[in-house]
Amino acid sequence: MKTVFFIVTVFSIFIAGNVYLYVRSWQALELLGRFRLWYGAGFWTVALLFVFMNVVKIPGGEWLNVLHVVGSGWVAVMLYASLMLLTLDIVRLAGWAFSVRPAWIYGNYPLSKLILFMTVTAVMAVIFTVGYRKARYPEVTRLEIPVAKRAGELKELRIVMVSDIHLGHTAGRTFLRRVVNRINELEADAVLLAGDTFDSDPDPVIRSDTGAELDRLQSRYGVYAVSGNHEYIGERFARGSARKAFDYLASHGVTVLTDSVALVDGSFYIAGRDDYSARRRKPLDSLLRQVSGALPVILLDHQPYRLHEAQQAGVDLQLSGHTHHGQMWPINLITRKIYEKDWGYLKKGDTHFYISCGVGTWGPVLRTAGHSEIVLIRMIFNGGEGEK
């Protein structure tokens, strides 16, 4: 129900924002005369491109990637241009109410509106420049977590976790290479991919063999992944696409845990839940029946719902993603209400949680809430003090 509410809210904002932006920008371009017809045609072509590209599957190469980037980028244009114009309209109405009407503006109204259009466009350029960099150049979040258990001969474990890479039309080989390079600098004992490795349809990734970059990941105990909701969204295009995505990851050395548990080096467990959106996912207590409570348990669960279940099951560390921390302000204010924790560290009882805002993006290649994130966690075993 919460997910449905989120989707309906975002879609409603998208439709309302586009209509409002179109009307106000049409008015602002009064000096263009009949050339506004070309503007109108271009506006709605780009505005509807995002919906079209996410509903219809079209085979293609680089040109298709460009259409996806343009279409998804328009979502950010609509959001921020509409917010700016709405703020200015409130100021304008307040001016009318209090009889504050600057003579030059109202004496040169068509030109004033054109200048306003150009100003908003310039501000949008700044937002996109800063937001693109935050989306494409990952930062490392570092945590140190004490666990009052023994892990064989291990005194500590260095885990690198990333979620929400969203490989596909807007995140390709160049981006993945940058992420892999950054991960390898951190000298991980284990690399964990916490879902939404694919944006949806795995075919564009497979055609370009983007996943070949995963072959370069370096870690002592290997690379493990779980499903996310976007792996299952791909099923709308072709039945079996989720399995194709998992098999492709396996072909590049990634162990996919789909409601399964791996005992690593006889020292600790990595448990992977199938995504919350999966039709038949095991209850957590059923999944962990094969686990010995004497060893540390790390749980990968893409969507951070029902966190109390991990606490009750004796999980030591749960790693999740999915939320993107809203990705763009003010959407993060919505995700903050939907989830118990939509980004960052949380402890419930003896169970530690980290919900990542993701290393990749969905839709616009832009971040104005959070940042592109790679998480390095040092688990210190057999007790001791640690700092978050």
Tokens of 153: 């001969």
- Residue 99 has what pLDDT? 86
Q: What is residue 388's predicted lDDT score, i.e. its pLDDT? A: 38
Q: How far is CA 144 from the centre of its chain?
A: 24
Domain ranges of the chain: 2-134, 140-381
- For the record, the structure tokens of 264 come out as 């690593």
What is the pLDDT, as a whole number, of residue 174? 94
Q: What is the pLDDT of residue 154?
A: 94
> Residue 172 contacts by C-beta under 8 Å, 6 or more apart in sequence?
65, 208, 210
What is the predicted pLDDT for the residue at 200?
84
Q: What is the pLDDT of residue 67?
A: 87
What residues contact residue 379 under an 8 Å CB cut-off, 6+ apart? Answer: 145, 147, 151, 156, 157, 159, 296, 298, 316, 317
Instruction: Supply the pLDDT for residue 384.
Output: 43
Instruction: Give the integer Cα–Cα distance in Å for 299 and 95.
Output: 56
Q: Give residue 100's region: left, alpha or beta (phi > 0; psi -120 to 50).
A: beta
The CA distance from 347 to 380, in Å, is 16
The parts of the chain modelled with pLDDT lower than 70 are 1-4, 6, 57-61, 383-388
* CATH of region 140-381: 3.60.21.10
Give me the pLDDT at residue 387, please.
40
pLDDT in tens, 103-112: 888 889 899 9
In angstroms, the first-to-last Cα distance of the chain is: 32
